[in-house]
């Protein structure tokens, strides 16, 4: 059997291009984000992100999952800059983007904020009316990627996420679909579906509904960002099974002021001849001694379809 290598990075917070913030934004939530960026730009460095991306490319993964926050203000110029960055990363069919809260900071004109990223959201393209329907499913070499969108505009000082009834109903049907039953099912989402993973003002509002779906239908792995931390947790699946939930720090973080330094995860999905599966994680990121990307750790996340002891 083959090994599918999935690279996971998140929260790159690409530098806003010149002119991304305009006078009209003085009366919107973008003003708060602009003020915050004056502090954050010292932490989120383009040279760090470039080093992480170069390291990722050198390992030639089969697919790249990016779990949100490519932008800071959700400005049109940022969507376009992110599109250019994605084009340089890899062919669109080999990269899947799950939008984050910064990517939906405010309501956008026309109501189609992620249209420039359509090729990286899934294989379905734009639906009826020009909207992107989430979740989208991409099947790659025995792996089904369920791409969710928890990004919604929120009030000032909030960074919560929400899937919403329509998306949850669609996910319910997709997870129950026999077409995906024998595939390795990975959910991509920005906000962690784990209680207490982030503060309430940053949490996924309908995480209980999502966890109920997972408990009913199951999945094999959930990847998220948002917390800017390396996190390993679990969510209950059917019949007492536990589903690994894995988070990764920001891909552009210097690692100062108590924040973890930039990192990406190589997730090796090894489907074995006896029908079992082993999932290994290789964490690569900035070495605190050299400041260059290096292997930080490696561990087995799933063994014969179950999380090994010590990784709950």
The 3-class secondary structure across 270-299, one letter per residue, is: EECCCCCEEEEEEEEEECCCCCCEEEEEEE
- pLDDT top residue among 151 and 125: 151
Which residues are CB-contacts of 105 (< 8 A; sequence separation ≥ 6)? 29, 30, 33, 71, 72, 73, 74, 153
Supply the pTM of this predicted model.
0.91
Tell me if 312 is assigned to some domain. Answer: no
Res. 126: pLDDT tops 60: no
Tell me if 309 is assigned to some domain. Answer: no
Res. 274: pLDDT tops 90: no
- pLDDT top residue among 1 and 69: 69
pLDDT of residue 16: 84
Task: For 202-256, write each residue's pLDDT tens digit.
Answer: 999 999 999 999 999 999 999 999 999 999 999 999 999 999 999 999 999 998 7
CB 263 within 8 A of CB 298: no
Three-point CA angle 108, 121, 207, nearest 5°: 80
Cα 192 from Cα 226, distance rounded (Å): 7
CATH code, domain with 45: 3.60.21.10
Tell me if 311 is assigned to some domain. Answer: no
**Exposed, middle or buried: residue 164 (CB in 10 Å: 0-12, 13-18, 19+)?**
middle
pLDDT of residue 23: 43
Tell me if 179 is assigned to some domain. Answer: yes
Could you tell me which of 227, 96, 198, 220 has the C-alpha nearest to residue 149?
A: 96
Task: For 182-197, write each residue's pLDDT tens digit.
Answer: 999 999 999 999 999 9
Residue range(s) defining the domain that contains residue 165 = 3-303
Residue 234: beta bridge partners? 244
Tell me if 238 is assigned to some domain. Answer: yes
How sure is the predictor about 109, in pLDDT bands with cuts at 50, 70 and 90? low
- pLDDT top residue among 111 and 188: 188
Tell me if 299 is assigned to some domain. Answer: yes
Over range 253-262, report the average pLDDT.
86
Residue 253: beta bridge partners? 44
Number of domains in the chain: 1
Tell me if 310 is assigned to some domain. Answer: no
Tell me if 56 is assigned to some domain. Answer: yes
Three-point CA angle 181, 147, 139, nearest 5°: 45
Res. 25: pLDDT tops 50: no
């Amino acid at each position: 059997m083959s090994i599918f290598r999935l690279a996971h990075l998140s929260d790159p917070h690409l530098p806003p291009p010149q002119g991304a913030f305009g006078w009209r934004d003085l009366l919107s939530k973008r003003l708060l984000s602009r003020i915050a960026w004056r502090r954050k730009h010292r932490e989120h460095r383009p040279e760090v992100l470039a080093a992480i991306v170069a390291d990722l490319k050198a390992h030639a993964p089969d697919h790249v999952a990016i779990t949100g926050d490519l932008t800071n203000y959700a400005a049109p110029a940022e969507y376009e800059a992110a599109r250019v960055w994605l084009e340089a990363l890899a062919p669109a069919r080999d990269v899947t983007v799950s939008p984050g809260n910064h990517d939906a900071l405010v309501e956008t004109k026309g109501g189609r904020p992620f249209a420039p990223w359509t090729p990286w959201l899934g294989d379905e393209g734009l639906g009826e009316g020009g909207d992107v329907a989430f979740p989208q499913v991409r099947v790659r070499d025995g792996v089904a990627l369920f791409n969710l969108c928890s990004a919604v505009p929120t009030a000032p000082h909030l960074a919560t996420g929400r899937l919403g009834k329509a998306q949850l109903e669609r996910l319910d049907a997709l997870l129950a679909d026999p077409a995906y039953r024998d595939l390795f099912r990975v959910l991509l989402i920005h906000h962690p579906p784990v209680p207490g993973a982030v503060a309430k003002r940053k949490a996924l509002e309908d995480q209980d509904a999502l966890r109920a779906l997972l408990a009913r239908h199951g999945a094999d792995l959930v990847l998220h960002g948002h917390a800017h931390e390396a996190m390993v947790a679990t969510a209950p699946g059917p019949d007492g099974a536990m589903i690994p939930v894995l988070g990764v720090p920001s891909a552009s973080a210097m690692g100062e002021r108590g924040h973890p330094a930039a990192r990406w995860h190589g997730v090796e999905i090894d489907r074995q001849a006896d029908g079992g599966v082993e999932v290994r994680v290789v964490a690569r990121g900035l070495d605190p001694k050299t400041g260059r990307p290096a292997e930080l750790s490696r561990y087995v996340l799933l063994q014969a379809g179950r999380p090994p002891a010590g990784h709950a």
